[in-house]
Amino acid sequence: MASGYSPSRGVDVQRYLAALTFLLLLILVLSRVLMMRRRGIRAVVFGKIDRKDFLIPPFVLFYFYLVLANALGLPTVATLALFHSEIAAWIGIGACLLGLLLFLLSLVSFGKSFRIGVDVEHPDRLVTTGVFALTRNPIYVSFALILLGQLLVFPHWILLVYLAAAVVLFHRQVLREEAYLKGHYGEEYARYCRVVRRYL
C-alpha cells in the first residue's frame, strides 16, 4: 500500500474538512443512539429484517479508514486519483457540509422516532414535518451528498465504487422501509407520498 495525497498538492484544508465531516456524522449518530438509550428507546434495530445487513458495517469502517488515511497521508490502497481539481474539492466540501446539515435537521425532525433500521416492534408516529416535508428520505440524501462530496475531495476509483454501491443499498433500504410504512400507516403514508418526493 502506498500513501495517499501528498501535502504538497495544496488540498490539505479540503482533505481535513472532508474527514472531519465524516467524523462529525459518526458522532451525531452515536450521540443520538446513546441519548435515546438513556430514555429507554432502542434506536439500533439494524439487521432485524435482513441478516445480510450485518455485512455493511465492515465496509463502512474500511471507507472511514480510506477517508482518514487520505486526509492524514497514512498508507492506503486508494492512491491513483481520477482527476485533480481544487474547485471540485471545494464543491465536494460544500456537498459534505450540506449533507451534514441535512442529517442534523433530519435528527431534529425525527425526534424520538429516529431508528437505524426498521423497528416493526415499536413503531412511532409518521414524521412528515421539518425536512421530511421536502424529501421522504433526508437521511439517505444526506449520506449520498457526503459520499459524493468526499469523492470530489478524494477522487479515487474505490470511493467511486463506494458511492455507486451506497446508492444501490440506500435505494434497496428505502424500498423495504416504504413497504413497511405503507402497510403500517396506510392512507396517511399514501397521502404523504403523493405530496413529497422520495428523494429530491
Nearest 5°: the CA angle 158, 160, 165 is: 95
User: What are the two backbone dihedrals, phi and then psi, of residue 40, each rounded to the nearest 5 degrees?
Assistant: 85, 15
Closest by CA to 32, choosing from 112, 136, 124, is 112
Number of domains in the chain: 1
2 found inside a domain:
no
Angstrom distance (rounded) from CA 119 to CA 43: 8
30 found inside a domain:
yes
What range defines the domain where residue 118 resides? Answer: 9-195
End-to-end CA distance of the chain: 39
Q: What is the pLDDT of residue 118?
A: 64
What is the mean pLDDT for each group of 10 consecutive residues in the chain (200 residues)? Answer: 43 89 91 85 66 77 91 85 92 97 93 69 79 95 96 94 94 90 92 95
For residue 95, what are the contacts with CB-CB under 8 A and spacing of at least 6?
145, 146, 148, 149, 152
200 found inside a domain:
no
117 found inside a domain:
yes
Closest by CA to 82, choosing from 95, 74, 92, 73, is 92
Q: Which CATH number goes with the domain that contains 110?
A: 1.20.120.1630
25 found inside a domain:
yes
Residue type at 122?
H
107 found inside a domain:
yes
Angstrom distance (rounded) from CA 94 to CA 98: 6
Q: What is the pLDDT of residue 41?
A: 74
4 found inside a domain:
no
Q: What is the pLDDT of residue 39?
A: 82
* 3-class secondary-structure state, position 77: coil
Q: What is the pLDDT of residue 77?
A: 85
43 found inside a domain:
yes
Residue type at 26?
L
